[in-house]
Chains A and B, each alone.
Chain A
Amino acid sequence: MFLPKTKLARSEALSGYLYIMPWILGFLLFTAIPIIASIYLAFTSYRGYGDINWIGFANFTKMFTGDDIFWQSAKVTLIYVIGFLPPGLVLGYSIALLMNRDVPGITFFRTIYYLPAILTGVAVAMMWQFVFHREFGILNSILGWFGIVRISWLNDTRWVMVAFIIMGLWGVGSGMIIYLAGLQSIPSDLYEAATIDGANPWQKLWKITIPLTTPVIFFNLVTGMIATFQIFTTAFIMTEGGPNYATYFFSVNIYHTTFRSLRLGYASAMALVLFLLILGLTSIVLYTSSRWVYYSGGVEVDA
């Protein structure tokens, strides 16, 4: 049924697969097989040594009924997602709207806003430790001008999440670039027609700009959601999950369970739960997308 019919077609198909062989090999060895192994391990009590014993759903039962730290991880991860994703999307979009103007020096501003997206890792985490320092950090100094009392950003269980959200919002530049691309693909004659019809800028935004950029909003929402649920590096370096497990995100929990406890079976089960959670939410977004995403000039896709 699916096989190519003619000899020529078969030969070309074979060539095609051979061309992508390097990627297939890498994908199988470093992604597909480890994922399948991990899903299998989720139902075992493997600890990195000794036998791999199948225990069915015992890991999941323990996780949902007997593990306070699991629920704490889920809670703080969800708080972070809800606290960061919507403001991040709105902020990225707003900045993109600003960057879409043709004023002199706009390229310079676009570069500045995009720079945080290319800085990563330990250096950034250390820089933020300086910024968030209670006594000598820049942030508290600036807040002090407005008479706001010093906040212990990284050592206060209530403010540490806000600190992480601020760090996340600092990096909205990467989303901004994609929004910008979307904004620039809107045909300008639509705006001209709207002006002739007497539309004000607000109406243009809601009736033309936003509907026509829903594909990029959708893209950023899905990729942003997937990435945000997996937040790890900053928490691991700056707070190690603390204080009092306030930044003990899902990934931090999985890391500690894997590399400190070596409870590989249990950690695989947690990873599987995270995977299914992200999969579920992404599916919901995909399912509802047909109602609010407008692809201009394309074929309407049924849900």
Chain B
Amino acid sequence: MYGLLWRALPGPAWLRVLILLVFAAAVVAACFEWVFPWVSEYLPMNDNTVEASTR
């Protein structure tokens, strides 16, 4: 999987490393900004309110 990605990238090794680093940073940023906040809505571990169990 990652081997394929590595071979598909153009340029010398340092350029591929650079591209992958930028790509990884983008993935982390997307996770922090959108994915994790969305996921956390479905995880109850931070709930701190009392509310009627009917909800």
Asked if A pairs with B, the answer is no
B residues whose Cβ falls under 8 Å from a Cβ of A = none
